[in-house]
Amino acid sequence: MSSAIETIRNGILEIKIVTKLSNMKIVNTLPPNYEILSLYLNPPDHAVYCYGDTIYNPSGKKLTPDIEHHESIHSKQQGDDVDGWYTKYLQDKEFRLKQEISAYGEQYNFIKEHIQNSKLLKWGLEKMAEALSSEAYGNLLSYGEAESKIRNYTKFNT
Ligand SMILES: [Zn+2]
């Protein structure tokens, strides 16, 4: 476990970790497939996107290590066929949900490994469940279902 400083500042869970996190590139533009993506989804302005080995962060918001970790999971899922993955992700809600449960489940794992404060962990889980159950992903499931799936993913995969 690396040493971490945990705080919530401006509604952002800050996990400051000394070690390098991912090898993802980060740019402040929309992803190359945004046009097709926006035909299926209605992402909020602060959304970040993974396309291959790059995180697209058009709003320029602060990217916390747990978000980088989430996006690195998508990068692995995409493998060598980024466009193929996106086609399935956009057209197949079941597939989209599975991919996001893995990414949020791993993100929750990551937070759990790096912070000791149980209230912060709970707060992080709530934020992730809110996001996963939101309109941004096409209302895939309820808040309660999202919370339980993210938590249980961790339980069965560690
Ligand atoms: Zn995701």
| 8 pLDDT higher than 70 | no
Burial of 31 (0-12, 13-18, 19+ CB in 10 A): buried
51 and 30 Cβ atoms separated by less than 8 Å: no
pLDDT class of 38 with cuts at 50, 70, 90: very high
- What pLDDT is recorded for position 106? 95
Structure pTM?
0.87
The band of 2, judged by pLDDT with boundaries at 50, 70 and 90, is very low
Ligand 1: centre distance to CA 71 (Å): 6
Measured CA to CA in angstroms, residue 117 lies from 1, 120, 123 at distances of 14, 5, 10
Tell me the residues surrounding ligand 1 (ion) with CB < 5 Å.
Answer: 100, 103
Q: Is 109 left (phi over 0), alpha (psi -120 to 50) or beta?
A: alpha
CA distance 101 to 97: 6
Span from the CA of 70 to the centroid of ligand 1 (angstroms)? 6
How confident is the model at residue 6, as a pLDDT? 59
Instruction: Give yes or no for residue 18 having a pLDDT over 70.
Output: no
d(CA 148, CA 6): 24
Picking from 1-15, 20-34, 65-79, 113-127, which range would have the lowest pLDDT averaged per residue?
A: 1-15
Q: Pick 126 or 14 by higher pLDDT.
A: 126
Contact of 19 with 13, CB cutoff 8 Å: no
- Return d(Cα 79, Cα 32) in angstroms, integer: 17
What tens digit of pLDDT does each residue of 83-127 get? 999 999 999 999 999 999 999 999 999 999 888 888 889 999 999
Residue 15 has pLDDT above 90, yes or no: no
Determine the distance separating the centroid of ligand 1 and the alpha carbon of 74, expressed in angstroms.
7
- Distance from Cα 116 to the centre of ligand 1, integer Å: 24
Total residues found in the chain within this entry: 158
CA of 118 to the centre of ligand 1 (A): 23
